[in-house]
Each structure stands twice: as structure tokens, then as C-alpha cells.
Amino acid sequence: MQTPQLETERLILRPLALSDAPAIQRHFDNWNIIRQLAALVPWPYPADGADTFVRSQLGKISAGEELHHWVLVLKGGDGEAIGNIHFRPCADGTKGNRSFWLAEPYWGRGLMTEATTAMNDFAFLTLGLDHFYVCNAATNEASRRVKQKTGAEFVGFIELAHHGGQSKSEKWIVRRETWLRDRV
């Protein structure tokens, strides 16, 4: 299905567009973000990194791959993308079905928890999934905390190389039953 726009109290989650590439480039080219990510992401981040990435994502979506990719935009702001959620519901989940990041100036205000809540509702209420998996570097306290606040249950560790040097990732499952039971 096509990716719908989602809304939370403070955010619009808008489907990714090519015009988001400059804002993504500006915010994502930041070691404090990249060091938490799997070593598949190019680093140093190339000058056309976001443009290449956005084009590749949009290409996959138009080729029919089931991939939902939102940018996070503050309500009442200038419409600039300040973060991103990428959800691959049909991927096998070995390394997680979702990834997210937020521009550093906006950390610690509960924004990703809010966005993740909307995405979980989409996954379970709209797509009707039974469960999906999420992962984070074993030292990524903020990402772990977002998961703990949004219904994820710890499964175990997997081996995954991260830019920051961590070789272990925590793996979590998010279940429809738990989400619908505990959702506030």
C-alpha cells in the first residue's frame, strides 16, 4: 500500500520526497548520528549522499517494493525534514524492520517516541501486522529507551558492525497483541 501521511501531537510524518534531500544531507551528515548506525552507511558522508539515498529509496518504492519511508516535520514549522523513519515490513527482520534518526538539536524532547507510536499504529492497525523486529547498537541508550517506551520486548543480541565500533546489536520484537493491550 502507498505510504500515508501520519500525524502526532507535534509532528507530521510525511512520505519521503526528492525535495527532502538537502535537509537530510544537512542533518544526517553528523558523526553523533552516524556512529550509532550499521557500518553500511557511507562515512565520511558524501556531498551527494542524501540525494543518492533518496533517489534509491523512491526508485524501490515505485518499483513496488514494500517500503514506507517518512520524514519527520514539526507542526507549525517551516516544513523542513528533521528526521526520518524507514520501515520495511516484509524484510525478514534478521537485522530489524525499522530504522530512525532525528536531527541532533531536537533530541530528548520525546519526538521520536511520538513518531514511533504513530508508526506502530500504522503497522498494526492499518497494515494489520502480527509483529516486527527492531535493532540498535548495544550501547545506544536513547534508541533502546525509545523501544522500551513503545512496546518492544528484548529478544537477544546479534552481531552487527556499527560505525562507532560496537559489534553487537540488541534485537527486539514489537507485537501487535502487546501494542494494542498497553498502548496509552
Ligand X SMILES: CC(C)(COP(=O)(O)OP(=O)(O)OC[C@H]1O[C@@H](n2cnc3c(N)ncnc32)[C@H](O)[C@@H]1OP(=O)(O)O)[C@@H](O)C(=O)NCCC(=O)NCCS
> Which residue, 21 or 99, has its beta carbon nearer to ligand X?
99
Q: Is 87 one of the binding residues for ligand X (CB under 6 A)?
A: no
Beta strand spans in the chain (E): 6-7, 11-15, 68-74, 81-87, 98-102, 131-137, 152-159, 168-175
- Binding status of residue 166 toward ligand X by CB under 6 A: no
Per CB under 6 A, 183 contacts ligand X: no
Q: Is 101 in the site for ligand X (CB under 6 A)?
A: yes
75 lies in the site for ligand X, by CB under 6 A: no
Partners of residue 137 on adjacent β-strands? 169
Residue 44 touches ligand X, criterion: CB under 6 A: no
Q: Is the dihedral of CA 58, 64, 66, 68 positive or negative?
A: positive
Site for ligand X contains 85 (CB under 6 A): no
Chain residues 14-33 in contact with ligand X, contact rule CB under 6 A: 33
Restricting to residues 121-150, name those near ligand X by CB under 6 A.
136, 140-143, 145-146
Residues 6+ apart with CB under 8 A from 79: 73
| Run of H or E residues at 111 | helix 111-121
Which residues are near ligand X by CB under 6 A?
Answer: 33, 36-37, 100-102, 107-113, 136, 140-143, 145-146
